[in-house]
Structure 1
């Protein structure tokens, strides 16, 4: 969570500085906070760099699930143009465990437990109550992943073989996110929005003490709805 705290502090500083230098006029100008939730689909891929725990050089699966969290930001409006910055943090339950058809002992387990973005926003105010915007910036995801061979335990359940597996636990990966949305102002300063984000969390290497090394790649699609309050 130290990464999240650092990024949050940086965004607050940038927003405060921008607001002090140029405070725009219009109903969309000002700071806001809110809650959001939605569904996600995350593509996970492992590519063998060293070792032969899989029958083929790469293996992939797609996890689907839900997420929910908080967001905050600041807008400045000039005429119909609205620009600002936003940060969010969500807990997630997006997971998938799968095994190869050719060799049912070989498998991959992927889990996204949390993610955060720090993004800029640029929008068009179609009216005093309707904003259409594009957004993009930094993305962070907390992943738990393991891949390789499994053995049967005495109880008959599959367990990961430590010699022929690699993985990452509670690993924060850094990448980028981009997307867009539509936001409406209603009931005074309350807003509602629908938003889509594509996030690419990049790649990371993982191995073990038995000359095994793999490259993990993760990217995802996030659709969410949100309710916010503008100060």
Structure 2
């Protein structure tokens, strides 16, 4: 009886040790995700802004007192490409992207005689990224760099004495933001990001006045990337 009990205890201890060892080997066999590498992807989201058009009298450069707020907004979609390099829990990277989608708004004044329209059809950027990895498959990051766009403005009138004017203004500005990215598989990651873009001031002439704007855009975006 004692030998049977001793054998049972020994077998149980052996089985427990073997099971624990197998579990350790299984955990060791699961590779840690590494963010180093080239990636490409797509993104989409929503953009909004708050701007103001201020009028100046061209001969003197003085403000006429007329100003009007407007808020261009709209959806967009685009592509991105980048490269990350991971140092332990720190990830450094560079990324470029291009978004396409119309953000527009406008207003009328003087009893509907004059109509103003502002719009943006695309925006691109090249940025640095720096992030940390609380877990191997989660990246929290901040990003910032140069932004580029083409802004379109127009003033039109129902009066034939005031011919309309259209202005295309290419602008270079800056953009900053942050987000989170998670590795869904060993090659696919998904992200959620917010960015703010500022393009300084723009001004164009119409008749004997000039109009100044300060375009600034907020974007909320989500995207998917394929890692190589």
TM-score (norm 2): 0.77
Cα offset for 1:150? 2.1
Residue deviations 1:97-132, cap 9 Å, x none?
2224x6433432111100001111111111111000
2:201 to 190, 203, 208: 203
Aligned counterpart, 1:117 = 125
8 Å Cα contact 1:112/1:143 also seen in 2: yes
**Structure 1 alignment gaps of length 5 or more:** 1-24, 154-159
Aligned counterpart, 1:96 = 105
Q: Count residues with an aligned counterpart.
A: 194
CA distance in 1, matches of 2:65, 2:114: 10
Aligned counterpart, 1:138 = 146
CA distance in 1, matches of 2:202, 2:159: 29
Aligned counterpart, 2:37 = 30
CA distance in 1, matches of 2:180, 2:167: 36
Secondary structure of the 2:71 match is: strand
CA distance in 2, matches of 1:166, 1:205: 13
Structure with more of its chain in strand, by fraction: 1
TM-score (norm 1): 0.76
CA distance in 1, matches of 2:162, 2:64: 16
Aligned counterpart, 2:93 = 84
Cα offset for 1:30? 0.9
Residue deviations 1:46-86, cap 9 Å, x none?
2222259x974322200121111110111111111111111
2:170 to 157, 169, 172: 172
The structure having more radius of gyration, on CA atoms, is 2
2:222 to 194, 200, 225: 225
**Structure 2 alignment gaps of length 5 or more:** 1-31
Secondary structure of the 1:161 match is: coil
CA distance in 2, matches of 1:110, 1:161: 19
CA RMSD of aligned residues (A): 2.4
What does 1:33-48 align with in structure 2 at a 5 Å threshold? 33-48=40-55
CA distance in 1, matches of 2:69, 2:198: 15
Cα offset for 1:219? 0.5
CA distance in 1, matches of 2:39, 2:130: 16
